[in-house]
């Protein structure tokens, strides 16, 4: 199965970002991808965190969700919409700070939403020069999510969903592996500082320890807001080999995920069967 990790440099313009995403999705479909993964915040990286509140949608309806559903159906492509801001079922009480869920939605090739994952771990970082705290505007999710994708190669891929900062929490991915996942998705917007230090080694570690393919679609470049993201979108195989990647700027990172290779790796090194804890 060919999987495409789409790298973007999103701005504060929803319309521009959707146009950029549409072009990349078309490229992915033209190149034979069955699954395309958009990055975290593909629809908006504003000048300030609160900007995402203005484009929030209720789950199941809204211009961003409608756009992804239409693209999936038109292109015959499974699409994981990196993340978009969804209104919580229980909004903040009066006087409390407004928050949204940072949600990753999976759409099948008929345009139906088949899975929703709300980002569980919220990023916080402060090195004295740059500071981030997602909890100021985001509400954390509480449940892992995976979905089944029947591919043209005859394999029923079990796909585990995650987002960006989740990558640092190995237990999430171990849980997916224990539930049969063989492809792990990590749409992200890693900062340049943390990405340069940890991005590739963490992605390869998650692939190796879970004997799974990993597809990580990232934001990659300098955004109009001045924010700088690391990029390096990549697809990694179960042995930890980087199959394809792109350093910076928008693009399609395409690689074949081979079910036979997956079975061979798990047979030759049955580490998942040797777990004691």
Question: Distance between CA atoms of 217 and 145, rounded to whole angstroms?
Answer: 18
- Residue 23 tokens read as 């072009």
Of 43, 57, 113, 164, catalytic? 164
Of 40, 52, 57, 257, catalytic? 40
Told to judge if 43 belongs to the known catalytic residues of this protein, a careful annotator would answer no
Question: Distance between CA atoms of 20 and 9, rounded to whole angstroms?
Answer: 9
Place of tokens 């973007």: 8
Told to judge if 48 belongs to the known catalytic residues of this protein, a careful annotator would answer no
Question: Distance between CA atoms of 101 and 91, rounded to whole angstroms?
Answer: 10
Of 119, 134, 257, 265, catalytic? 119
Interior/surface letters 189-221, b for 16+ CB within 10 angstroms, e for the rest = bbbbebbeeebbebbbbbbbebbbbbbbbbbbb
- Residue 116 tokens read as 């929703």
Question: Distance between CA atoms of 120 and 106, rounded to whole angstroms?
Answer: 17
Question: Distance between CA atoms of 42 and 142, rounded to whole angstroms?
Answer: 22
Told to judge if 113 belongs to the known catalytic residues of this protein, a careful annotator would answer no
Catalytically active residues are 40, 119, 164
């Amino acid at each position: 199965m060919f999987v495409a990790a789409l790298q973007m440099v999103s701005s504060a313009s929803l319309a521009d970002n959707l146009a950029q995403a549409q072009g990349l999705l078309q490229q992915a479909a033209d190149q034979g991808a069955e699954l395309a993964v958009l990055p975290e915040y593909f629809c908006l990286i504003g000048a300030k965190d609160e900007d995402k509140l203005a484009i929030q949608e209720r789950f199941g309806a809204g211009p961003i969700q409608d756009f992804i559903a239409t693209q999936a159906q038109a292109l015959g492509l499974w699409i994981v919409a990196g993340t978009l801001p969804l209104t919580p079922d229980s909004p903040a009480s009066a006087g409390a700070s407004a928050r949204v869920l940072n949600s990753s939605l999976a759409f099948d090739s008929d345009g139906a939403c088949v899975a929703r994952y709300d980002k569980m771990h919220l990023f916080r970082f402060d090195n004295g020069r740059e500071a981030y705290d997602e909890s100021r505007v985001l509400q954390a999710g509480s449940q892992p999510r995976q979905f089944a994708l029947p591919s043209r190669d005859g394999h029923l891929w079990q796909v585990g969903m995650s987002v960006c900062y989740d990558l640092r929490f190995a237990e999430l991915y171990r849980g997916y592996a224990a539930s049969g996942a063989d492809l792990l998705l990590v749409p992200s917007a890693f900062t340049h500082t943390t990405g340069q230090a940890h991005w590739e080694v963490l992605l390869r570690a998650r692939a190796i320890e879970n004997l799974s393919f990993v597809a990580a679609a990232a934001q990659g470049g300098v955004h109009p807001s001045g924010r700088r993201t690391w990029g390096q979108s990549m697809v990694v195989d179960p042995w930890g080999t980087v199959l394809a990647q792109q350093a910076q700027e928008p693009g399609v990172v395409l690689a074949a995920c081979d079910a036979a290779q997956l079975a061979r790796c798990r047979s030759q090194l049955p580490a998942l069967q040797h777990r004691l804890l």
